[in-house]
Structure 1
Amino acid sequence: MALPAFTKGRKVLAVAAASLVKQVAGSIAHTSREGEPPVLSAVGPASVNQAVKAVAIARSYLETDAMDLIVEVSRHNTGGEIKDLILFNLKKTPQAPRLAPDAFQNLKSAGSSSTSQLAGAIAKNVREAVNVKITAVGQNPVFRAVDGICYARRFLEDDGLDLDFQPEFTHVTFSNGTEANAMQFVVRPHPRGMPPLQPGVPPAAPQQPPTQAD
């Protein structure tokens, strides 16, 4: 399968289930310091989970460089839903202050979550200019969150909007008091074809072409 145009001339790192995330993160950080960040490719929940963790770690490596990363994610059909190729198009962005947790609508991703329902919830909040983050515990929920963002991008096409995200580590406390490590996806909306906005800045409505006067 031919890779999309945004991969041309860029380093493409294939991330597998057995990939060492700190090693991948180091490669991401090194390549980003030298020039354009790499593109990550992953197939299946385990590989996608490793890719997301690697980006989160790479972001921490780049903090001393006053540099950050955002991710544009897309699905490319190879013949089966779970086996589709997921591409993480990494982009550099300046570091920005983080909003307080209560500034976000927190969506939960579970392994059994409906991708279309999660994508619909993401898109609805973005249309209403609500800050969105997604929390996922475990590789299947992480995969479902990534998948949901892929589909939310499609849902927002007619609105002239698009999405990137930033992954980070967090932890959650369940109702029984037990704690677990989790991945958090901070959704970064923006007008289609424009750079991402800082969290808390609503995306502007797409401009309509001027009409001719009679």
Structure 2
Amino acid sequence: MPSVLATGPGAINQAIKGIAIARKYLLEESPPIDIVVQPVFEKDMRSGSNVSLVLSKSIPIDCEPTEDDLSAKDRTDCFKLAGAIAGRIRDGGDVALTTKGPVPVLVAVKAIALAQEYTSQENMDVKFAVQFRDLEDPELGNTPSTYLHFAVLVNHD
């Protein structure tokens, strides 16, 4: 499977944006093709930010932002966010995250990778699909802003 290697918040943010753009174009093909991503960190996630974003082909995934989406900000604890993701996965519900900015994107990617670890005993394979979405930004007086929306996907082995 192809993968994208990225190191550091800026590079990971750009890699995720590149995947979102590629995904958009592939969904316009006939027949449409989707891309899902599994993040694999090379070292300890507490201090490291070297990630291999393993790509695979998928049938089209339809997931739009909702009020129930989780979010990641600069100061979000990726371990707590991973626990929330794993909890929703175990409950069988849809899981999605909405975020913007290099550090929050790193937090989101780390949290999804950690959720994979947290659910590994249940034989769950955790991946994500990412897309751009324009949403109102409450920190900017509800003016429109472009976010990255991560749809968390689970396969049961």
TM-score, normalised by the number of residues in structure 2: 0.89
- Percentage of pairs with the same residue: 27
Can you give the 5+ residue segments of structure 1 that lack an aligned partner in the other structure?
A: 1-35, 193-214
- CA deviations on 1:178-205 (whole Å, 9 max, x unpaired) are 332110100001114xxxxxxxxxxxxx
The CA deviation at 1:105 is: 3.2
Q: Alpha carbons of 1:155 and 1:173: their partners in 2 closer, same or farther (altered >3 Å)? A: same
Instruction: Pick the aligned partner of 1:181 from 122, 146, 157.
Output: 146
Flag the structure with more relative contact order, 1 or 2, with Cα contacts below 8 A and sequence separation at least 6: 2
Gaps of 5+ in 2: none
* Match of residue 166, structure 1, among 104, 129, 140: 129
Instruction: Name the counterpart of 1:9.
Output: none
The whole-number CA distance in structure 2 between the counterparts of 1:165 and 1:80 is 18
The Cα shift of 1:99 comes to 4.4
- What aligned pairs does 1:24-39 form with structure 2 within 5 A after superposition? 38-39=2-3
Rate the CA distance shift 1:81–1:93 in 2: closer, same or farther, 3 A: same
Aligned partner of 1:126: which letter? I
| Partner SS state of residue 69, structure 2 | strand
2:114 alignment partner, SS class: helix
Task: Specify the SS of the correspondent of 1:62.
Answer: helix
Cα RMSD, aligned residues only: 1.9
CA change 1:132–1:75 in 2 (3 A) is same
TM-superposed CA distance for 1:82, in Å, is 4.5
Partner AA of 1:48 in structure 2? I
Q: 2:91 aligns with which of 128, 134, 137?
A: 128
TM-score by length of 1: 0.66
Which has the larger Rg? 1
Q: Secondary structure at the match of 1:53?
A: helix
Against the structure 1 CA distance between its residues 39 and 99, is the aligned structure 2 distance closer, same or farther, given a 3 Å change threshold?
A: closer
Please tell me the residue identity of whatever aligns with 1:181: T
| Partner secondary structure for residue 55 of structure 1 | helix
Paired AA for residue 41 in structure 1: L
Distance 1:80-1:167 versus aligned 2 partners, 3 A rule: closer
Richer in strand (by share): 2
CA contact (8 A) 2:63 2:151 kept: no
In 2, the alpha carbon distance for the partners of 1:84 and 1:52 equals: 14
1:142 partnered with 2:105: yes
| Residue 73 of structure 1 pairs with residue 39 of structure 2 | yes
Judged with a 3 Å threshold, the aligned counterparts in structure 2 of structure 1 residues 181 and 82 are, in CA distance, closer, same or farther, namely farther
Pair 1:47-2:11 in alignment: yes
Cross-structure match for 1:60: 24
Q: CA contact under 8 A between 1:105 and 1:130: conserved in structure 2?
A: no
